Chains A and B, each alone.
Chain A
Amino acid sequence: MQGMDASKAAVLEAGIARIRERFIASLEDRIESFCGLLEQLEDSATEESACLEIRAQAHKLHGICGSMGYPRMGSLAAQVEQHIDTVIAGPRPLNTDFVDELLNALLDEMEQSVDGT
Chain B
Amino acid sequence: MKILAVDDDELIREILSATLEAHGYTDVTLAESGEDALQKIAASPTPFEGFMFDIQMPGMDGTELCQHVRQMEQYRNTPVIMITAMNNKEYVDRAFMAGATDYVTKPFDTTELMTRIRLADRLQSEARKAQAAQAAVPAATAAAAPKPPFKDPVTVKEVRGVVKSAALDNYVMLMLEQKQFAMGAFALRVPELEAVHAGSNTEEFTYVVTDVAEVISDVLVGAQAFLSYIGNGVFVCVGAKNKLPSADSMHDEFVMMLNDPDLVYCEEVATGFSAQIGDIAAPKLFEKRGDLRFLDRAVEKLNEAAAGGGRGGSGRSAFAA
- Comparing A34-42, A57-65, A95-103, the segment that makes contact with chain B is A57-65
Within 8 A of A (CB), among B80-102: 85-86, 88
Q: Is the CB of B108 within 8 A of A67?
A: yes
Provide the residues of chain A in CB contact with B23, threshold 8 Å: 3-4, 8
Instruction: Give chain B interface residues in 94-119, CB to chain A under 8 Å.
Output: 106-108, 110-111, 114
Q: Are A15 and B107 in contact (CB-based, < 8 A)?
A: no
Interface stretch, picked from B8-16, B198-206, B258-266, is B8-16
Residue-wise, chain A 22-63 has the 8 Å CB interface mask toward B (1 for contact) of 110010000000000000000000000000000010011011
Other-chain contact of B111, A2, A8, A81 (Cβ < 8 Å): A2
Considering only CB atoms, which chain B residue lies closest to A81 in the complex? B86
A15-B18, A67-B106 given; A62·B88 CB < 8 A:
no
CB pair B106–A62 under 8 Å, yes or no, is yes
For residue A111, CB closer than 8 A to chain B, the reply is: no
Expressed in whole angstroms, the Cα–Cα distance for A95 and B187 within the complex equals 45
Contact assessment for A60 and B18 in the assembled complex, using a CB-CB cutoff below 8 Å = no
Chain B residues within an 8 Å CB radius of A59:
56, 85-86
On whether the beta carbons of A19 and B106 are closer than 8 Å, the reply is: no
Contact (Cβ within 8 A) B114 A2? yes
**Would A19 and B114 count as touching, CB distance under 8 A?**
no
Q: How many residues of B contact A (CB 8 A)?
A: 21
Q: Known contacts being A3-B23, A59-B86, A85-B88, is A64 close to B12, with CB within 8 Å? A: yes
Residue of A1, A71, A85 near B110 (CB, 8 A) is A1
The answer to whether B132 has its CB under 8 Å from any CB of chain A is no
Closest-by-CB residue of B relative to A56 is B58
Q: List 6 A-B contacts (CB under 8 A).
A: A2-B111, A9-B22, A12-B19, A19-B14, A19-B18, A64-B12
A15 to B19, CA, bound (A): 9
- Bitwise, A6-17 to B at CB < 8 A (1) or not (0) is 001101100110
Q: B12 contacts which chain A residues (CB < 8 A)?
A: 63-64, 67
Closest B residue to A7 using CB positions: B22
**Interchain nearest-CB distance for A106 vs B (Å):** 15
Complex CA–CA separation, A65 to B23 (angstroms): 22
Contacts of B9 in A (CB 8 A): 60, 63-64
| Cα(A71)–Cα(B107), bound, Å | 9
Contact of B107 (CB < 8 Å), options: A11, A60, A74: A74
Q: State how many angstroms separate the Cβ of A10 from the closest Cβ of chain B.
A: 9
Cα–Cα distance between A19 and B18 once the two chains are bound (Å) = 10
Chain B residues with CB under 8 A of A81: 86
- CB pair B111–A63 under 8 Å, yes or no, is no
Whose C-beta in chain A lies nearest to the C-beta of B19? Answer: A12
B53 to chain A: closest CB distance in Å? 13
- Chain A nearest CB from B110 CB (Å) reads 6
In the complex, which residues of chain A have a beta carbon less than 8 angstroms from the beta carbon of B111?
1-2
For A55, the closest partner residue in chain B by CB is B56
Most central of A9, A12, A22 by chain B CB within 10 Å: A12
Q: Is the CB of A8 within 8 A of B85?
A: no
Within the complex, what minimum Cβ distance (angstroms) separates B61 from chain A? Answer: 12
Are A19's CB and B22's CB within 8 A? no
Complex formed: what's the CA distance from A108 to B58 in Å? 27
Given A12, A19, A62, A68, which contacts B85 in the complex, CB threshold below 8 Å?
A62
Question: Which residues does chain A contribute within 8 Å of B107, judged by CB atoms?
Answer: 63-68, 71, 74
Quote the shortest CB–CB distance from A87 to chain B (angstroms). 15
Bound-state Cα–Cα, A62 to B22, Å: 24
A44 to chain B, nearest CB (A): 25
User: Do A12 and B22 touch across chains, with their CB atoms under 8 A apart?
Assistant: yes
The CB with the most chain A CB atoms within 10 A, among B14, B18, B107, is that of: B107
Which of B18, B88, B106 sits near A16, CB closer than 8 Å?
B18
Instruction: With a 10 A CB-CB cut-off, give which of A9, A59, A65, A68 has the most chain B CB atoms.
Output: A59
Q: Are A66 and B106 in contact (CB under 8 A)?
A: yes
CB contacts under 8 Å to A, within B29-80, are 56, 58
